[in-house]
Amino acid sequence: MVNIISEMLGKSPVQPIQDHIGVAYECTQMLPSLLEAANLNDWDKVAKVNERIRNLEHDADKIKMKIRSNLPKSLFMPVPRQDLLELVLVQDKIANITKSIAGMINQRKIQIPTVMYDEFMVFVNLCVDAAKFAKKSVNELDELYETGFRGAEVKLVQELIDNLDEIETKTDLKQHAMQSELFKIEKEMPPVDVMFLYKLIDMVGGIADMAERVGRRLELLLAK
């Protein structure tokens, strides 16, 4: 039995997009425990957490594919289809980077030098926070649709995005501080390890960068 009205209403991408950022954020949440376990030489746990992150990233990919296939060109939507697709793409990168970080630590048995460990964990948690704020902002998507991307709700979302920007600025400073710390001790360490530590710092900072870009993408949807 075909019902005309139900056929005409396409599948709404809103909930899937919110689910997607939820999974991406869940990925980043695993990172602190993974780094902790690595520094405690608990490589079994590192492998386990790495596996979790891989699975979550895979889930995020599946949601991403589903969103894409449910957004054919024949849809009429309040916001451009391309903007939504790009939002999902950036969200997905949060999960992707996290997976790469976890894989690298697991494979190369990377440990954070003790002198910079505490500060590094602050840095990681700050980046996870950025992802959390990205999720919070994207979770307002259904409310934005409800109000046609205008009015009081837009102000609320703008505030969330501003918060996200602030956190990202903090992570930038922290990232810089981490690089300076590492520079001080790099001569006493095996060069390859140092290389990968620099890379790790960049990648962790990349999570916050992507979170900020999620905010930028969301901002584009708001009516000016």
Partner 1 sequence: MEYQTTYIILAGVFGLFMAWGIGANDVANAMATSVGSKAITIKTAIIIAAIFEFSGAILAGGEVTKTIRKGIVDPDTFVNSPELLIFGMLASLLAAGIWLLIASKKGWPVSTTHSIVGAVVGFAAVGIGFDAVHWGKVGTIVMSWVVSPLTSGIIAFLIFQSVHVLILRTDDPLKMAKRYVPFYIFLTAFFMTLVTIKKGLKHVSDIHVSSSEAYIYAAIIGIVVAVIGAIFISKIQPDKAKEKEFHFHTVEKVFAVLMVITASGLAFAHGSNDVANAVGPLAAVVSTAQSGIIGSKAALNPWILLVGGIGIVIGLATYGRKVIATVGTKITHLTPSRGFAAELGASMTIVMASSTGMPISTTHTLVGAVLGVGLAKGISAINLSVVRGIFASWVITIPAGAILSIVFFFILRAIFG
Q: Which residues bind partner 1 (CB under 8 A)?
A: 1-15, 71-72, 74-78, 142-143, 145-153
CA–CA dist 155, 162 (Å, integer): 10
Nearer to partner 1, 86 or 172 (CB): 86
Of 164, 156, 96, 155, whose CA–CA distance to 134 is shortest?
164
* Residue placing its CB nearer to partner 1 in the complex, 109 or 150: 150
Q: What amino acid occupies position 3?
A: N
Which of these, 112, 115, 102, 1, lies nearest to 58 by C-alpha position? Answer: 102
Minimum distance from CB of 82 to partner 1 (Å)?
14
Residue 153 C-beta: closest distance to partner 1, Å: 7
C-alpha to C-alpha distance for 166 and 124, rounded to whole angstroms: 16
CB of 93 to partner 1, least distance (A): 24
Q: How far is the CB of 7 from partner 1 (least distance, A)?
A: 5
Residue 5 or 192: the one with the smaller Cβ distance to partner 1 is 5
Tell me the C-alpha distance between 137 and 158, whole Å.
Answer: 9
**In the complex, what is the shortest distance from the CB of residue 150 to partner 1, in angstroms, rounded to a whole number?**
5
Pick 78 or 108: Cβ nearer partner 1: 78
Output 67 or 182, the one with its CB closest to partner 1.
67
What burial class does residue 139 get, using C-beta atoms within 10 Å of its C-beta: 0-12 exposed, 13-18 middle, 19+ buried?
Answer: middle
**Secondary structure element (H or E) that encloses residue 10, with its range:** none
Q: Give me 74's structure tokens.
A: 């024949």
Q: Cβ closer to partner 1: 10 or 180? A: 10
Q: Minimum distance between the CB of residue 63 and partner 1, rounded to whole angstroms? A: 16
Q: How far apart are CA 53 and CA 127, in angstroms?
A: 16
Q: How far is the CB of 65 from partner 1 (least distance, A)?
A: 17
For partner 1, give the closer residue by CB, 11 or 216: 11
Residues 6+ away with beta carbon under 8 Å from 84: 13, 17, 67, 71, 77, 221
Please report, for residues 126, 184, 218, the alpha-carbon distance to residue 119 in angstroms, rounded to integers and kept in the order given: 11, 15, 31
